[in-house]
């Protein structure tokens, strides 16, 4: 071999195209699953936040002896101090993203979860669903004051 010539070795264009095709196929198969898991995770995060906020109102009622509650709407919920939202002295609205909504509000009365000052147990309780049209989570509070959620 002469001093100035080198033999190059590498991948052919065909091998690179086949490899890219295989990677593209894997991406096409994995991407929708990843997006679905991400959306489900975000929905679960909204349910966790809702249960935490209801629990917060429950604890304020029990420990501080004040009437509190949570009013449920389709685009979010409102934390309030008072016997109901209309007569509330303090309110804080928690909105949901436009692609997430609250549906099937099934409370014992109306759309408000209520806690009487000094009591751990709610006077109004029940369930509601948080959905993103693909996945659904049921948030609940029972008559004993147990708060939680379950993925449907």
For the chain, the structural domain boundaries read 13-151
36-94: pLDDT as tens digits: 888 889 999 999 999 999 999 999 999 999 999 999 999 999 999 999 999 999 999 99
- Tens of pLDDT, residues 123-150: 999 999 999 988 999 999 999 999 999 9
**pTM for the whole structure:** 0.80
Distances (CA, A) of 78 to 4, 26, 27, 142, 152: 79, 44, 41, 19, 24
Torsion sign (Cα): 139, 151, 46, 73: negative
Fold of 13-151: minor pseudopilin epsh fold (3.55.40)
Q: Which two tokens stand for residue 139?
A: 């948030």
């Amino acid at each position: 071999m002469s001093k100035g010539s080198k033999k190059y070795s590498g991948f052919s264009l065909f091998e690179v195209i086949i490899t890219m095709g295989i990677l593209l196929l894997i991406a096409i198969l994995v991407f929708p699953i990843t997006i679905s898991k991400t959306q489900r995770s975000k929905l679960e995060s909204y349910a966790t936040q809702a249960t935490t906020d209801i629990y917060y109102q429950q604890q304020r009622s029990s420990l501080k002896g004040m009437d509190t509650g949570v009013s449920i709407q389709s685009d979010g919920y409102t934390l309030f101090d008072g016997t109901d939202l209309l007569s509330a002295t303090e309110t804080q609205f928690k909105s949901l993203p436009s692609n997430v909504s609250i549906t099937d509000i099934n409370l014992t009365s109306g759309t408000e979860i209520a806690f009487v000052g000094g009591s751990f147990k709610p006077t109004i309780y029940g369930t509601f669903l948080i959905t993103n049209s693909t996945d659904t989570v049921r948030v609940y509070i029972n008559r004993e004051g147990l708060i939680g959620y379950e993925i449907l």
